Amino acid sequence: MIEIDGGMGEAGGQLLRTSLSLSCITGKPFRIFDIRKARKKPGLMPQHLVCVQAAARISGAEIAGAEQGSRDLTFVPAQVQPGNYSFPIGTAGATSMVLQTVVPALLFTGSESRLLFSGGTHVPFSPPWDYLTDVFAPAVKKLGVMLSLTLERHGFYPKGGGAVRCKVEPVSSLVPLAARERGALRRISGVAAVANLPVSIAEREAASAVHVIREALGADTPCEVRVKEVKAFGAGTFIFLKAEYEESIAGFSAIGERGKRAETVGEEAAQEMVQHHRAGAPIDPHLADQMVLYLPLCREPSVFFTSRITGHLLTNLEVTGRFLHFSYEVAGDRGGPGTVRIRPL
């Protein structure tokens, strides 16, 4: 039984999700205690419970402590089974978080799986659906992972109601990653969207983002942000920006909320993108920690250069090491750019 201190590192839900994925893949049971110890509301929240239940469902796991507010969980998987699954997350729970929990485990089952998720698609503290389709899916495709992603309906906080589908193709092995260079910038594109709100909000978000980017990177920077209205049960707005380089893609986003100026939403995403661009790295900070789970499963070493070494990245490396045998090296200071090397043992 692997023992995991839920209070280590960032002490967030990522610890739990990574543990669930790797437990399903390796068949190794684990116990996690002091779950989300440093948070204002420690213990399992509804969105974390859905991840536990989803992982248990695909693996036939026995679980103990899977209750809202629980700070101690035991997870004992059986065998992961491919198939057609539906995961109703409820309200605005992040569909992206549940998807990223179950997809790695379903890769090695030998058969295709089709998944339906309902809940939030563009909500705080989680990758928006656009990031999954435009950045994450192309990145894991380089490793040999084939995902087909479809958005049927947007879902915003607090009503949710979004619906997304994912088809997971099985793999026999993964290709290592070598991402040291990104090449020249080809274009920056994006979308600013609103649901059941004045379209002028999205227009202001887009204008603000373009202004920040061109002021920082030059007036001739190729940058275009589309404005659109989307269908959803509730009201909401977001902006997603994508930087396409010769060898890589990076993505950044911001979510609107009551009392937050549209210009601020655009500025937040744009400033993150500018910071990434100036670092000269191919891998953005969000993708860096998401890739950590996959790379030790490759047969050969991997290396990547990221624009920011985050606490999430370091924590994910540590917890992944509890389940998989690999060595790693992080060159660079936390909060700054750095290179990560992962060598399977």
Catalytically annotated residues: 312
3-state secondary structure of 306: strand
* CA distances to 2, 161, 237, 307, 338 from 240, in Å: 38, 20, 10, 18, 25
244 φ, ψ (degrees, to nearest 5): -105, 120
Torsion angle defined by CA atoms of residues 330, 286, 276 and 307, in that order, rounded to the nearest 10 degrees: 0
Dist CA 190 CA 195 (whole Å): 17
What is the three-class DSSP state of 200? Answer: helix
The span from the CA of 96 to the CA of 129, in Å, is 7
Residues 123, 47 contacting (CB under 8 angstroms) = no
Helix (H) or strand (E) holding 254: strand 249-255
DSSP string of 235-300, one letter each residue: -EEEEEEEEEESS-EEEEEEE--TT--HHHHHHHHHHHHHHHHHHT-SB-HHHHHHHTTTGGGSSS
